[in-house]
């Protein structure tokens, strides 16, 4: 399943005026209206997760979703966990953060757990 993970790092927006960080990225800061610079957020740490048993249309259950705090940018994101199924999840486990742009939708966030 790890091979299914997209390779593009997650894009976050950082306001050049007030420093607010946001995902998904927008052209203007929702806090102050300032210009936004795109930055890559590539790593994070797991905070919480759950197993989804009843998936919405277009997804196959079961799968795991998690909340991860992103390193270096100070925000968290929720995403689908991918990686070797035998790797146990743990609080603070390191993840690579990726996104997949889906036409006419918000990007899908992938949290890639590596086998240590």
Taking phi over 0 as left and psi of -120 to 50 as alpha, with beta for the rest, 42 belongs to: alpha
Q: What pLDDT, on a 0 to 100 scale, did the predictor assign at position 116?
A: 62
For 11-65, what is each residue's pLDDT tens digit? 999 999 999 999 989 999 999 999 999 999 999 999 999 999 999 888 889 999 9
The model's pTM? 0.82
Give the H or E element holding residue 97: strand 94-100
């Amino acid at each position: 399943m790890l091979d299914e993970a997209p390779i593009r790092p997650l894009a976050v927006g950082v306001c050049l005026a007030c420093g607010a960080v946001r995902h998904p990225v927008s052209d203007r800061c929702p806090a102050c209206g300032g210009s936004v610079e795109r930055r890559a957020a590539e790593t994070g740490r797991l905070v919480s997760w759950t197993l989804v048993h009843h998936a919405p249309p277009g997804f196959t259950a079961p799968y795991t979703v998690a909340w991860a705090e992103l390193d270096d940018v100070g925000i968290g994101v929720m995403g689908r966990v991918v990686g070797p199924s035998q790797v146990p999840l743990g609080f603070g486990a390191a993840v690579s953060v990726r996104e997949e742009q889906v036409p006419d939708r918000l990007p899908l966030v992938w949290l890639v757990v590596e086998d240590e």
